[in-house]
Each structure stands twice: as structure tokens, then as C-alpha cells.
Amino acid sequence: MTALTKQLQSFVENTTESPFSIYNLPYGVFYDSNNTTPRIGTAIGDYVLDLALLEEKGILTIGHQRLFNHDTLNVFASQGKSVWSSVRRRIQSLLSIDNQELQADQALLSSVLIPQDKITMKLPFKIEGFSDFYASEQHASNVGKLFRGKENPLLPNWKHLPVAYNGRASTVYLSGKTITRPKGQLKPPDVDVPFFAPSKKLDFEIELGVFVGVGNPDGKRIRIEEAADHLFGLVLLNDWSARDIQAFEYQPLGPFLSKSFATSISAWVVPLEALQNVMVPLPKQSPACVEYLHQPSRFLPDIKLKVEIQPRNSTHKTMICETNAKELYWSLEQMIAHHTVNHCVMKPGDLLGTGTISGLNRENWGSLLEISSNGVNPITLHDGSNRVFLEDGDTVIITGYAETPDYKIGFGRVEGMVVSAVQD
């Protein structure tokens, strides 16, 4: 294998400033008009590198198992950290300006490098399980103040364990899918009997999604010190929420119909290894965790996140929120360690949502529930219209990236347009 220069540089054009540089290399599943078979690739600049074709040609091989001619990332992700690292190093070598293996074969290069505007993306994993956490203290506090008052915004368990619930994997959708306004039972404070109607308080929630790579098929818990080795990569996640349906149904067992209708994720899965240089330390937790959640040093990736709303028939987007993944109180390792401490089985491709990520100020709050104080304080969009919750025709766009002094690591976007409730 050709040795890499100390400072990585790709021969692919326009990658130095790209969010999809040689330092990123996110994985996704795609197809194109010349080959309609879904397969695995990695984003590099404005292109996709066809990993399945490189594997077929014997240029990218790890053992004897085919890892990339699949329509999901599940098989590759199940191989474990050593394989992920080996593949990543090999791809970086192949794309390096120092390596002539691809550069010297123009016919092959034109086949394996496909412009991103010529491809169609698919859901990256077969997702059998989806669990959503509630890991941002500021978000939990904001919601607690709205519904329980300022005196005790956090419930007694919140700082002792990462609160979560099991969502619906069947309605995790790829970015771009329209979101039908859900119906359910509503009971505003001024009525005595609930009624069935479309949600009037449809909301977004800005989150990160964490994909499990290696599971625990034997049911043995994943210990905190080994938890990072089980996490494959991250996506942007919007956990759409119907706040009025949620308000009536959530006691005593939590959200159900108000969350299960749709969760949207971005197409490219950024490997956890790509984020090692943007990890930042987290404050000491108080009170101290029980032993199975204790980490001597806790880190989260410094990922800048942004939410915009674009109304129907408008070319203008209004920024609604800017926040950061480092605002989370619980680490990714603590989430999966808690999830499996009761011997719950995790599988490759299982998805964990971090829960809404909110910062200190209103402009950093990650949902309209918080920003509008549950419909009391409207926000004004660039076209002059007001919002307290989402209206039909609104498109919600979430973007995110991390950066070092030398490069960016982009996540692309997750977006979805709200359409009217089904008349049935």
C-alpha cells in the first residue's frame, strides 16, 4: 500500500474545502442510471466512490467476504472497528495524491468516481430497532418548565440515567420524503372531551442519530469502556413530533402516536473515527453516576447544527435554530451502555437518537415547542409570515458540520416537507 503524506490530500478535484474531504469519507447506499443495483459508496468532494466496484476489481478487499455489494451497510458495520479502520485507511490511500493506482487508470477512474448529482441515495441501513433518548439538559429543562413550572423542571431520574423510549424503526425515512400531517386525539385545555383531528402543533426536533455497528447478540451488556467500539457512525436526525397528540397521550407511558409517524435521517453516515479530532471534553457530572455509567473522561463531537424553514412556494429560508452536539449531557457511550445494562440485544444497524439538542439561549433551542413557548411566542419568517408550529407546505432543513483548522466534516442535510393530513 502506498504510504500517505503526513497531511492528507486527495487528487479528486475540489475536495480541500469540501465538507466531504479525504478526512471525512462518509458511507452511504446509492445507485445510478448506468447501474441501478443499490451498492455502497463513500462521498469524496462532489463525487461518490463506488466501493462495490473497487471490491469487484480486487482493489479494495478485506478478507474473503464481500462487504460493499449490498443494499445496506449492515454487513460492513457488523465487522468491527479493526475492519472499519482498515477500510478507511485503504480508501484514503487510494484517493491520495501520492497514490497512482486509480489515477493511472482513467477508464477505471471514470467508472468508480460518479458525480453526486447523477446518483440516487437509499436508506443506509436496514433498521430493526430505533430508540430515542432525551439527553440534552437544556431541552429537558425547557420542556419541564413549560409543563411543570420553573421550580422542578427535571424529573428526579433525569441526572441519574439517560432517559429514553423505544420508537418505530418502520417509519425511519430518508431525507427528502414528504411528511404527512398526522391525526390523533386532541384535548386542548378548554374542552372536556378529546376529539380526533389532524395535529395543529406539528414540530421538528434536531438530533443526531447514532448507528450501532457491532451488537451484542449474546445479550451481554456493553460495558462503558468498550461502548465506543460498538458505534459505527452518525447521521443528522429529525424526530418529527405532534405536540398536541403527545400532550394527551403521553401519561403514563410516554409518547406513542405523536412520534411514531415519522423520523427523518440524512443519507451519509459519518464514521465515528472521522470525528476523533473534533471531540471535546464534557463537564463532570453531578451527581456522580452509578458505576456502569461512570466514565473518567467523557467526550462529544463538536458538531455545529442548524435548522431552517422554507415555506411553500418561497425561495427564502429562515434560520430557526443554531446549536451544537456538545450541548448533550449524556455521552454516546453512556447511552448504549445504559441501553444494554439489562441485557437488551442490539443489532448492527440499530439506531439511537440523542433527543433534541438545545443550547442556552432561545436561538439555540432545538424545537418549536421551546422556541414558541408551546405556541405563545411566534417567530417571523423572512417572507413576513409567523410560525408557532409547522404549517402545511413548510420544508424543514437541518444541516451540520464539524471543523478543524485544516478541514471540515460535513453531514449533508436532512429535510422534509409537511403535507396535509390524509382525508380518510
What is the set of active-site residues?
139
CB 208 within 8 A of CB 264: no
Cα dist from 275 to 153, 169, 188, 402, whole Å: 33, 26, 44, 8
For 121, the enclosing helix (H) or strand (E) is strand 119-122
State how far the Cα of 387 lies from the Cα of 375, in Å rounded to an integer: 8
Q: What are 236's three cell numbers? A: 443528522
State how far the Cα of 127 lies from the Cα of 341, in Å rounded to an integer: 21
Cα dist from 380 to 237, 285, 336, 383, 386, whole Å: 24, 37, 39, 8, 4
In sequence order, what DSSP letters do the residues of 307-346 get, joined into one string?
A: EEEE-TT----EEEEEEEGGG-SS-HHHHHHHHHTT----
3-state secondary structure of 251: coil
Tell me, letter by letter, the H, E, C secondary structure of 276-314.
HHHEEECCCCCCCCCHHHCCCCCEEECCEEEEEEECCCC
